[in-house]
Structure 1
Amino acid sequence: MQSQSQSQGAQPFLSAQGMRGGYGKADILMGCTLTVDKGQIAVIVGPNGAGKSTAMKAVFGMLPLREGRVTLGGEDITALSPQQRVRKGMGFVPQTHNIFPTMTVEENLEMGAFIRDDDVRQTMEQVYHLFPAVAEKRRQAAGELSGGQRQQVAVGRALMTRPQLLMLDEPTAGVSPIVMDELFDRIIEVARTGISILMVEQNARQALEIADIGYVLVQGANRYTDTGQALLADPEVRRTFLGG
């Protein structure tokens, strides 16, 4: 399902072109390119060590690029820090250490709104509406919640900044299949509000089922790029990356 703006040749909302970079002298990203349109769900999959999380960090400004550029809404943000990118409309949920365990759920959400100086209550109610299980535990310490609920708090906290692009690094890591399905349902709901989603996911088959666009990375470079459905139907992709 190509979105309208891409089919008409307009610039995608997020464009990360030709990213090359890594840690120390070693490049992990080898010219990787990612684009996401408004309200699109883009999923990055691939084998371990392919550079999936590194690509996310590069988009968010946590990894300096040796080559390439990142634009958001047509504006070049390649030189901006992660904090500056949050102010431009990026929200990032890392795989681990993504909540304050000793703070209550509500305090976690309030911390998410740190860049805002307006009334955040409406956004908080939207988060509670999206995650009813979290709403019930708003007075509880976030560290006491189940793994799936902690992930919901982490996503909710990122939504408190009212991002235009929400980036999720393996949001379903370590959760049960039922919780994974529920999280994916919520991610679809978020995208329907017009927020763009870029996520790295180990559960490749399930993630591609909800993806508008999928990127298969191998050794820091794009191996396959297509709609989620097309990648799922590709015999080569299935044999090599999806276990048949």
Structure 2
Amino acid sequence: MPFLIGENMTGGYGGADILHGCTISVDKGEIAVIVGPNGAGKSTAMKAVFGMLPLREGRVTLDGQDITGLSPQARVAAGMGFVPQTSNVFTSMTVRENLEMGAYLRQDDFTDTMEQVFDLFPILREKAAQPAGELSGGQRQQVAVGRALMTKPSVLMLDEPTAGVSPIVMDELFDRILEVARTGIAILMVEQNAKQALNIADKGFVLVQGANRFTDTGAALLADPEVRRSFLGG
């Protein structure tokens, strides 16, 4: 069984279902990417895995334990880190304070973890005393990812991490995400830049209208003529 799996997930926000038997999974040290057209239910699937959406059917398991009934806060305590697409930093707080907020559940000394975050994102060390609201979009994303890493998660979930950043910043963020995966953390990511994301993905899930349309390795999806034609612009 995969380390994290949202299995046969069906549900919505109170009205009609958005997800229809959707299954998403990722193993430790893997990067799994969810792609698909606008309105396909990509972010909804991510939120369902994180417990932000009640499931009518299906279940979520983490390291063999059924966590379907856990709140998002309890899932963080169980080892899940989640970075939302927007409003993901405390703009009036400094970079260092943002990172410290990520360690709010920890009882131990988190100095080493903060040093690891600064090593991963050197610009954050430079700007540690600067309010996060003064940073560029790409730097804010680094703060948001760094704050999630402060919890020492076993799974890192990223919702559109490269939204609104330049191609150069996107490539840099993807390089850092690869580095995080190499430490053994499972990474589940929703991404609008499908080609680039599948290029670094161990596995990919193409969703259409809340259901799995294609599931394969990133390389296989990139090479699939139908996937390329329908979802990757040819």
TM-score between both structures, scaled by the size of structure 1 = 0.95
Instruction: Indicate yes or no: 2:40 matched with 1:50.
Output: yes
SS of equivalent residue, structure 2 residue 12: strand
Give the % identical residues.
Answer: 79
Q: Which of 24, 28, 34 is residue 38 of structure 1 equivalent to? A: 28
AA of the residue aligned to 1:22: G
SS of equivalent residue, structure 1 residue 26: coil
What is aligned with 1:60? 50
1:25, distance to aligned residue in structure 2 (A): 2.2
What is aligned with 1:144? 134
AA of the residue aligned to 1:104: T
AA of the residue aligned to 1:113: A
TM-score between both structures, scaled by the size of structure 2 = 1.00
Q: Which of 52, 64, 69 is residue 79 of structure 1 equivalent to? A: 69
CA–CA distance in structure 1, aligned partners of residues 9 and 174 of structure 2: 28
What is aligned with 2:82? 92
SS of equivalent residue, structure 1 residue 65: coil
What is aligned with 2:19? 29
Q: Which of 219, 230, 237 is residue 209 of structure 2 equivalent to? A: 219
Instruction: Indicate yes or no: 2:111 matched with 1:124.
Output: no
What is aligned with 2:153? 163
Q: Give the aligned length.
A: 234
Gaps of 5+ in 1: 1-10
- For the aligned residue pairs, the C-alpha RMSD in angstroms reads 0.4
What is aligned with 2:182? 192
Instruction: Indicate yes or no: 2:229 matched with 1:239.
Output: yes
1:177, distance to aligned residue in structure 2 (A): 0.1
1:23, distance to aligned residue in structure 2 (A): 1.3
AA of the residue aligned to 1:203: N
CA–CA distance in structure 1, aligned partners of residues 101 and 13 of structure 2: 30
Gaps of 5+ in 2: none
1:24, distance to aligned residue in structure 2 (A): 1.5
What is aligned with 1:8? none
